[in-house]
Amino acid sequence: MIEQFPKYINEQHLINKGDRILVALSGGVDSMVLAELLRRYGYDIAFAHCNFHLRGAESDGDEQFVREYAERVGVKLYVKQFDTMKIVENQKLSIEMAARELRYAWFDELLKTDYDKLALAHHADDQIETFFINLLRGSGIKGLKAMQPCNGLYIRPLLWASREEIKKFAIENGIQWREDSTNQDTVYFRNKIRHDLMPVFDSIKPDAREKILESVNHLSAENQLYRELLHEKLSQIETVNGVLHSISKCHFERSVAESRNPFRLQLLFEWIRTFGFSYSQCESIFSSLNSESGKEFYSSDYQLVIEKESIDIFHKTINAFNANNTLKFESFERTPNFSLLTSNSNIAQLDYDKLNLPLKTRTWQQGDRFRPLGMRGTKLVSDFFNDHNFTTFQKKTTPILVDSNDQIVWIVGHRIDDRFKITGKTKTIYEIKFGE
């Protein structure tokens, strides 16, 4: 193990020269062995311990044990105490999920201070258990590849070693640790797999764990290839226009002969999952592609709209004021050779004396009306949008220029209000240019 540890770190490029490493230290045998190996090989380390207060005095005993160890070896220790059960009750999470979210949120904070990586003590048996957890949750290839040696700033230098090897090393090298009594409690999903499922595989095939790990490694390589091909495919069909992401519906729509096309459904999911949409939402979106356009779906941060020809995704808070729009204003006296500019929809030329200044921009509001250039009566802006096939994104991001009385002067980039047009009596021109 002494030889394999640095070899694995170098092969997987887990630690660079000069890296400062935080070690997640629970006090259990896995994290204690990891801490000792990193310390003995001279890495620049500090410890981080979470007290979730789930086991009463036992949790406090773990904290005290870790504190004494850190003081004895002269390594800086960070300790964070959590009211885990309060989070479980308030957010309706499982204990396992609540502890995980709390732990990683704190780790992320610590990494921002002055550390380059955070080392976790996951090992080969954890890898196998994670594979089955994800399998039983219905995961695809991304989940079945299980954990990676390096995931961003998180590294797992013991992912190659078995639980048995780690414990043997601890005993042979006099490394002390604390036993977690909940490791035997099969109320936890992972423990059920560890104590109930894995012994069955061991009885069927002596090298079952080794073969499962081989399968996980194959899935990991296949996932990498799949991701590369997927990225290539999506880059060919996705259109990105500033903050708007679009793909033509034709890439996902079913033919009359198809009741369900797994490939098209999966392609859609791989695209929208990056914006926080779930698989169940994907199924609903996929089923709605041939229905009336305008249907909307939401993730935590994004809005997806099924338009007539495309599927559009954009941030929920996007509007005319954060879509990189700018207006430039200029006034000048009309000259005898003045010619009205009509070829550029991003330039509005208005009669200065008809305007109630100052002008300002806002977003479209329900009930907005204006008099489109060339019309005698007024028209709902929403009807104007529909007549010109505006998408939901265009409706949200098209600036509306209004005067001090909130009268619409210009649907920016599209149509001015007839009341402010230039006539033969116009003396001063007010020119407005739209664009970056």
pLDDT tens readout for residues 364-382: 999 999 999 999 899 999 9
Q: HEC states along 133-160?
A: HHHHCCCCHHHHCCCCCEECCEECCCCC
> Over the stretch 378-432, which tens digit does the pLDDT of each residue have?
999 999 999 999 999 999 999 999 999 999 999 999 999 999 999 999 999 999 9
Q: Which two tokens stand for residue 327?
A: 């207006």
Place of tokens 């954990």: 147
Give the per-residue pLDDT at 184: 79
Question: Taking the CB of residue 56, how many other CB atoms lie within 10 A of it?
Answer: 8
User: Between helices 124-136 and 163-172, what is the axis angle to 10°?
Assistant: 150
Return the pLDDT at 325. 63
Residue with tokens 């992320």: 108
Low-confidence ranges of the chain (pLDDT < 50): 256-257
**Centroid of chain to Cα 286:** 21
Token code pair at residue 191 = 């423990």
Closest CA to 381 of 324, 430, 330, 320: 320
- Distance, CA of 26 to CA of 179 (rounded, Å): 10
Question: What is the arrangement of strands in the sheet containing 150-151, beginning at the earlier edge strand?
Answer: 77-81, 44-51, 20-24, 117-119, 154-155, 150-151
Spell 229-242 as b/e; 16+ CB within 10 A means b.
eeeeebeeeeeeee
Question: Which domains does the chain possess?
Answer: 4-222 (3.40.50.620), 242-315 (no CATH), 327-434 (3.50.40.10)
| Confidence at residue 256, expressed as pLDDT on a 0 to 100 scale | 46
The one-letter amino acid code at 29 reads V
